[in-house]
Structure 1
Amino acid sequence: MSGGPTVRRQCQFVPETALSEDECKEAISLMKHSADEDIVKNKMKLTFDYRRNMILDPSSWDSDLSSVFLLLHLIPPSAQGRRKPGKVSASQAEKHLVVFKKSGTSIQEHLDAITTSSQPYLLAVGARKNAVHQFFIVLDKNAIPCRSTSCLGAFDELFKAHFVFGTSYNPMLRNMYTFIQTTVYNIDVGKVKESPRVAEVRVRLLH
């Protein structure tokens, strides 16, 4: 027999409205930055199943990297312009930020499979997503080992790699990176173009 808080149980609470994965992530982000108790309670009910499954799911990312993804959902990608119309979801953008490979997988095969030039991203290698033991920054079909083995440390190196190599942000991640650039690192504040959403979130967090 087994018991305890990690055992899966039949959920007795059924929310009135079923939210998509993206809507759940956006609701969780809103909870983190809202002072309205009623809004927080409502969002907690709507995202109950999603949050519970995310905690119990062994294939999910660890809490540090999940917090980065939550920021991406709080500051979602903008439309890709006239040539590529349509809104890109935050879940789609995640795939341009971190790619996971199981331990033992050939890194070179991953690099050889790259057919188009892209902005730098993290390649996470480990037994599972919440047990990554090594990170690489992939840029121009090269895998540069990160010094840090922690998710946040590797993400910090990824962000700084844009400045070291003078490369632009991935369009799908530009809003999030701009927020980090101006709010966390205080770089070119007032000089870089910010989306209204980036400016709004920065003001809400700093005041």
Structure 2
Amino acid sequence: MSRNTSQRPVKATTVPQAQGPNRRRSVASVPEQLDGDACQEAISLLLHCHDEPSVFKKMKMTLEHRQNLVHDSQRTTDVLKTFPRFLDVKGPLNQDFVLLFGEETSSRLLERWDTTFEPKVIEESKHLTKSTELHRLLNAAEKHAEDDDTNWDSDVASLLLLLHLLPPTAGRKRINISASDAEDKTVHFHKVYMSHLLKSHWAKSHS
């Protein structure tokens, strides 16, 4: 019976498309992308340019080159070395996100954060293994603690809780770090309003 049964057509195997940060997104809709010597010249100009409109323009024109770096496992760590203006100019990172995802998508996170995402992050974090840092962030996120030198406000604390929800990355050569250490490597926070208040108080007392 098996010999006489006609062979069934072999189904074509579908290769799953990478999602999330690993998905390669097209920059075809972004005009004036530079390559070759023109791109390298723009990158060199960015290092010494102090005119913010020019910085944003050059960053926009080098988006495709930057995406090539991001998706190259051997060169990913070179992104901030090649484009250090991410570190001292506010806005280029947001511009990249808008160019890749569009205005509607880029604003959706902040629009829905308070009502949709933040409560879920807090609830999921309650099921994690408790630690001093996690307890501190949960208290701040649920507004059980006043904002001081050791506690962030609810929004920032709930964003930092996301680091504790991220699973460790598998791989031989990857170095595992704690979620608390990852906070310092994610972004640096400075509560500048305290120094501003102290300066104002000092000025009044000596006037």
Question: With structure 1 as the length reference, what TM-score do the two structures score?
Answer: 0.29
Question: With structure 2 as the length reference, what TM-score do the two structures score?
Answer: 0.29
Structure in which a larger fraction of residues adopt strand: 1
Which is bigger in relative contact order (C-alpha 8 A, separation at least 6)?
A: 1
Question: Larger radius of gyration, structure 1 or 2?
Answer: 2
Structure in which a larger fraction of residues adopt helix: 2
